[in-house]
Amino acid sequence: MKTLKPIIKKIAIILFCLNLLIPVKTLANNDAFTNYVLPTKGYKTEVVLVNNDVRNESPNHSMLYTAYDKNGNELAQVSDFMATGSRVILSLSELFPSLNVDDIGLVEIDSSNKNDAWIIYSKKDGDNVQKAMVKAPIDGSSVVDNLHFTNNTGYWNFLFNIAKINDAESTVRAVVNPSGEEVLLDGSTNVFGFITPNLSLPYSSASINMKDFFGGIVPENATWMRVYSEKIQQTAMGTVVTPVNNLVVINPFMKTNGESGGAFGKAESFRELFIPHITVKDYFWWTGLVLNNPNDEVVKFVIQYYDSNGVHLDINPSTPAIDDFKGELQPLEKIVGLINDFGRPDNAAFARVVAEKPIKGGELFGGEPKGANWPIMAGVSLLLPGTGGYLAEVTDIETPTLRYNIPIAESRAYTDSEEGVWTGIAIANTSKRDQTIVFEYKSKSGVILATQNYTIRSMSKEAITVEDLLKIGGLEDIRGQVGMIDVVAKQNLASITENREINIYALHGGKQAGTGTHNWMIGEDAVNKSPLDVKMFVANETRGIVDSLEDMLGSMNIKVEDNDVILSHVISTLRDTKYGEITGYDIVAYDDNWNEVGNIASIRRGLQLPSSSDKPYYVNYDTTSPVQDGTCPYGTFKLGIVVHSTINGIEQSWVYRIPDKTITRSPEQNLTIVNAYDILKNEDARRELGDILSRDDVTFGGNNVHLDSETIYQGLTNYVDGDLSNNEDVDPNGAKLNKIGNKFYFNLEDSNGTFYSVMSS
């Protein structure tokens, strides 16, 4: 972060509720939390700020707003204060009244306390209203994505807002996917005749219409874009390329007819994603899905659908088993479509996406009924699962309550002269027990107006408006005062207090004065206010990712043997400090009384985790770790994760218990299936075995060769069908499948010996 200029003007506020005069804390150099606002040309830009610092009890704190033009020149600075726990909504014209807002390319908001921020883009043209809301970036990355654009530019304006947020030297290049076209963003003219923004300048920025970027027509093989910031140095040892964390990005998309729009911000890649709210109702509502593969290899995925009561739905009732939707993403491919294109069964209310490699995506949600003017839409990133458990304890501090903040929760009826507004909340409880949450209704200043307990059944989804929630609680009289909502996930059960994880987001919209017609809608990404935010995915990589595709109502048991490899993908952020460091984490086994019995895996920064001086407070990494003999006794245990951190020189461990998952620890076992013929009669089994065996060489005709999974699958099919090319008399009893250590062997023997043998690690 750059050195902040001292704030000249000191402000004091009289807090009537405390009857005290308290000076506003002045920002010291580098002692600030930061949010970034990227304006969209041609649209009104507003910033929503909520002070969500759960550790700092100071009643107010200082703010510094700095505006830059697209070339990184500082245009203006404004200092102010903000009360702890409050919410403000400010347009750029209100923040910088002396500036032409079209000249602003980037706004940096520095604060002495932690703020969460969202950006609202809007445009009004007669009765048409366009609005989109997205989470504001908080720090830079070396790789950012423009997740979604198509060649349907007659119907959509696909916009790309990008900025460099410091003065670190770097080269910025964009790669168009899946075509692989590479473009330098250095002020030069690209192959499509578009003069690119010069992002080699400090604090430079751009708001680009993708149609212009491609010279008027977006190619069919251009569907999303990845942008890299790198420092390139020529040394005696050759060219050294170092990633630089200094890019932020937002992707608005607006209809060209001025009706509606949406936006995607930073989306994390993960192996498990949730679609928290699905509805398709007589064309009044529709749900769309965007999935992106950031990997250079094919990634298979499944979508498991559930109804509102948590019943696992079958996309193909004609078969005896419950079938999930299965798909695959080609290298660097993006797929987009209505949820029906992804096998949606009737009554689907929410869904779980699990992939073999980390993927990312977004949900589109809207309403356009037949013949009615209801052109509303919102876009939100797919939700990442929480730990699946609860925060049990933290070393040396009182265990904080898990809170989720919905920043805009206004609700009022429309009249002949005034527009109405509504807020809807979608909550998915993916645990196997009922959960009572608490709604804290707050005014814009952060005052708690009322609280309401609300129980979400296990494995269920609730979608309800704030208006209906208040009616249920007998709280209709505060409807006009509610500005935002905190959802408290803490509850007391028997002798323990659980900080449960939930999945939640909100929709907020307007109803036209006089008619009540829905005329705009935005999606709100709720934020977890806990000092530590943890997302976790754990699987046995040796046995394959399929072991993690169990029904969420199933056993969720992870089976591991000695020398198996545990895969853990953890995304974790220390929210309320930029000086703390996440030093690692342990996957821990517990007995039935939650006594620790051993470690399944230990991951440490600088060993399995990369070292990071730029973002020590943040981890997003796929790690693998062999299960070693002696680190944990054999048996079936409860599962947990302990995240280790150092804050202001003090070591702290955050213990999360995951009661809905267990882990079975066993010694390494060999396995022999003497007659594999009956197993191989199942097509899915042949394909799965083909995938496994294609990972290594095949001994065929005395030579080691590599066969792809389709070739092996076809050979196995020919074997089952009795159609072998050499017409040898093959006895079905000659098919043997062996697991010896971590190697799989498949032998097919004819009357003369081995026909072929496959080995895979």
Angle at 381 between CA 375 and CA 384, to 5 degrees: 145
Mean pLDDT score, 428-456: 91
d(CA 690, CA 720): 14
SS (H, E, C) 341-398: HHCCCCCCCEEEEEEEEEEEEEEEEEECCCCCCCCEEEEEECECCCCCCEEEEECCCC
Structure tokens at 196: 């690119």
d(CA 95, CA 24): 19
To the nearest whole percent, how much of the chain has pLDDT over 70?
Answer: 83
Identify which has the larger pLDDT, 96 or 457.
Answer: 96
Q: Specify the pLDDT at position 2.
A: 39
Q: Specify the pLDDT at position 15.
A: 27
pTM metric for this prediction: 0.86
Q: Specify the pLDDT at position 7.
A: 31
Confidence of residue 19 (pLDDT cuts 50, 70, 90): very low
Per-position DSSP letters for 125-189, written without gaps between them: ETTEEEEEEEEPP-S-BSEEEE----S-TTTEEEEEEEEE-S----EEEEEEEET--EEE-BS-B
651-695: per-residue pLDDT in tens? 999 999 988 888 998 888 766 666 667 777 778 778 877 776 776
696-715: per-residue pLDDT in tens? 655 555 556 667 778 878 87
Q: Report the half-sphere exposure of 662 (CA within 13 A, side-chain side).
A: 12
Residue 607, pLDDT above cutoff 80: no
In this structure, the strands spanning 557-561 and 650-666 are parallel
Confidence of residue 214 (pLDDT cuts 50, 70, 90): very high
Least confident of 73-87, 176-190, 370-384, 627-641: 370-384
Give the closest residue to 378 by CA, choosing from 190, 508, 533: 508
In this structure, the strands spanning 74-83 and 350-367 are unpaired
Q: Cα dist. 421→21, 284, 413, 490 in Å?
A: 37, 18, 7, 29
Residue 28, pLDDT above cutoff 60: no
520-555: per-residue pLDDT in tens? 899 998 888 888 999 988 888 876 655 455 665 555
The pLDDT mean for the chain works out to 83
In this structure, the strands spanning 74-83 and 87-91 are unpaired
Residue 218, pLDDT above cutoff 60: yes
165-212: per-residue pLDDT in tens? 998 899 999 999 999 999 999 999 999 999 999 999 999 999 999 999
Q: What are phi and psi of 460, to 5 degrees?
A: -135, 165
Residues 6+ apart with CB under 8 A from 135: 116, 117, 118, 119, 265, 266, 525, 527
Q: Specify the pLDDT at position 675.
A: 62
Confidence of residue 66 (pLDDT cuts 50, 70, 90): very high
Q: Is 107 helix (H, G, I), strand (E, B) or coil?
A: strand
Confidence of residue 23 (pLDDT cuts 50, 70, 90): very low
Q: Specify the pLDDT at position 17.
A: 32
Residue 400, pLDDT above cutoff 50: yes
Q: What are phi and psi of 354, to 5 degrees?
A: -125, 130
Structure tokens at 142: 């070396």
104-137: per-residue pLDDT in tens? 999 999 998 888 999 999 998 777 788 999 999 9
Residue 247, pLDDT above cutoff 80: yes
Mean pLDDT score, 249-258: 89
Give the closest residue to 571 by CA, choosing from 532, 522, 520: 532
Confidence of residue 3 (pLDDT cuts 50, 70, 90): very low
Residue 282, pLDDT above cutoff 80: no
Burial 60-89 (b: 16+ CB within 10 A, else e): bbbbbbbbbbbebeebebbbbbbbebbbbb
Structure tokens at 211: 């149609």
CB 45 within 8 A of CB 39: yes
Mean pLDDT score, 276-302: 85
Burial 123-143 (b: 16+ CB within 10 A, else e): beeeebbbbbbbbbbbbbbbe
CB 544 within 8 A of CB 605: no
Q: Specify the pLDDT at position 538.
A: 87
d(CA 758, CA 737): 10
Q: Specify the pLDDT at position 708.
A: 76
Q: Specify the pLDDT at position 691.
A: 73
Residue 315, pLDDT above cutoff 80: yes
Give the closest residue to 612 by CA, choosing from 85, 244, 173, 217: 244
Q: Specify the pLDDT at position 695.
A: 62
Structure tokens at 24: 């506003």
Confidence of residue 283 (pLDDT cuts 50, 70, 90): low
718-746: per-residue pLDDT in tens? 777 765 444 445 555 566 666 655 555 66
Least confident of 1-15, 82-96, 493-507, 726-740: 1-15
Q: Cα dist. 298→43, 294, 357, 489 in Å?
A: 38, 10, 9, 38
Structure tokens at 727: 């017409």
Radius of gyration of the chain measured on its C-alpha atoms: 28
Q: Specify the pLDDT at position 529.
A: 86
Confidence of residue 16 (pLDDT cuts 50, 70, 90): very low
Domains, the chain, with CATH or none = 12-134 (2.60.290.11), 143-253 (no CATH), 267-381 (2.60.290.11), 394-528 (2.60.290.11), 532-666 (2.60.40), 671-760 (no CATH)
Angle at 147 between CA 73 and CA 154, to 5 degrees: 90
Question: Residue 683: enclosing H or E segment and its boundaries?
Answer: helix 683-693
Q: Cα dist. 593→219, 597, 601, 613, 642 in Å?
A: 59, 11, 21, 39, 17
Q: Specify the pLDDT at position 29.
A: 38
Q: Is 677 helix (H, G, I), strand (E, B) or coil?
A: helix
Q: Specify the pLDDT at position 68.
A: 97
CB 407 within 8 A of CB 484: yes
Mean pLDDT score, 313-323: 86
